[in-house]
Structure 1
Amino acid sequence: MVAETFEFTKRAFSPFSLEHNPAAIEALRQEHLRNNPRNYLEMLEANEHRPAIGDRLGEIRCPTLIVVGEHDARTPVAMSEDLNKAITTSFLKIVPNCGHFYSYEQPERVCEVMTTFLEAFGAGRTERVGAR
């Protein structure tokens, strides 16, 4: 079962990472081997039954960072753009040459994005950061 779930997961990497970043894929494969397959299936099941909250996104008032891989087929850029429009205090960052697992594919770049976002906000600030 681990092999089957990992093949499903592997397809979420970007074409660039599949060709040029085998270390990222291996790191995630090792994590899959350490996980209980039953827990993974329960997570997938929970995702299918989570409540819809789209109509409440406008209520979010805190600074919100939305990060998406340029080639994310699971949660596409368009979905993140919709979130960015709905959450008025959000900042969208699209990570180039990444799929769904951007933190494995480009961890240094993702840390840079998160650090920049966190440094930009002091207590109580709610204005948008950076260009859209």
Structure 2
Amino acid sequence: MVKSKLELLLLHALPLDGAMWAEQMELLPGAAYAPTLYSFGDRIESWAEKALALTTARRLVIVGCSVGGSCALEVAALAPDRVAALVLIGTKAWRRLDPVYHASALETLREKGLEAAWQEFWKPLFAKKASPRTIEAAKRITMRQPLEDVARGITVFHTRPSRDDVLSSFQGPVVVVTGAEDVAPGLETSRKQAKMAHQGRLHVLPDCGHYVPMEQPEAINSIIRQVLETA
């Protein structure tokens, strides 16, 4: 039986945009999508619905980093019959309500600005040995985002539903990827999530933090290629 056409959907982390996937777009030439999600609404369900609408194939491999991984789980909840495999990078399926931290993050962003928020929340998520060039590239992507778009992303992250149910019921491969130095969500959570999935696998990348596609593009590209070959 000939497999139907496959497409690749790449979903970005905060406070970046679709450009964080520059090194992954050619993994499936002409059939890869890396949308910027902020304009898709203030709920992750809306992000998932609109990201899914960009695609046309009946079979998708979805790769998400951080809140993008949460969005990937939401797509799988929305259209499980179309999702061939999930690659979840630095993703936490379970969400703990923390309205104080949510409000504090928005206050920092709006009162101190995007530069201060970058320094406090996101730059520390890179590995200690991350290339300064990589960190600077991520900062450039961040600083070109409208402040209210990033604020919307923060709200989407903090109000997303827990999706342990999707993770545990999804029948396809779930590849969980974490940098060894990623504290959000961290190795222990990533290990538990890989065990929770029916076809879960865990990859731990040394000398890597939260933003795997930018910090270790060759390593994540090898993982995604394997998924594409077997999907």
Q: Is 1:88–2:198 an aligned residue pair? A: yes
Could you list the runs of 5+ residues in structure 1 that have no partner in the other structure? 123-132
1:117 maps to which residue?
A: 227
Q: What is the RMSD computed on CA atoms of the aligned residues?
A: 1.3
Alignment deviations for residues 8-50 of structure 1 (CA, whole Å, 9 cap, x no partner): 2100001121xxx101101101101221121112111111111
Q: Is 1:13–2:126 an aligned residue pair? A: yes
Structure 1 range deviating more: 61-70 or 51-60: 51-60
Could you list the runs of 5+ residues in structure 2 that have no partner in the other structure? 1-112
2:135 maps to which residue?
A: 25
Q: Would you tell me which structure has more strand in proportion to its own residues?
A: 2
1:79 maps to which residue?
A: 189
Which of 151, 154, 174 is residue 64 of structure 1 equivalent to?
174
TM-score (norm 2): 0.49
Alignment deviations for residues 40-79 of structure 1 (CA, whole Å, 9 cap, x no partner): 1211111111112224422110112211111101111111
Alignment deviations for residues 83-116 of structure 1 (CA, whole Å, 9 cap, x no partner): 1111011221111111101111111111112112
Report the residue type matching 1:70 in the other structure: A
Report the residue type matching 2:127 in the other structure: S
Q: Is 1:102–2:212 an aligned residue pair? A: yes
Report the residue type matching 1:4 in the other structure: A
> In percent, how many aligned pairs have the same letter?
25
Equivalents in 2 of 1:107, 1:34: separation in Å? 22
Where 1:15 maps in the other structure, the secondary structure is coil
TM-score (norm 1): 0.82
Where 1:64 maps in the other structure, the secondary structure is strand
Query: Retained in 1: the 8 A contact 2:195–2:201?
Result: no
How many pairs are equivalent?
118
Q: Which portions of structure 1, spanning 4 or more consecutive aligned residues, are displaced by more than 2 angstroms?
A: none
Which of 137, 140, 162 is residue 52 of structure 1 equivalent to?
162
Larger relative contact order, structure 1 or 2 (CA cutoff 8 Å, min sep 6) = 1
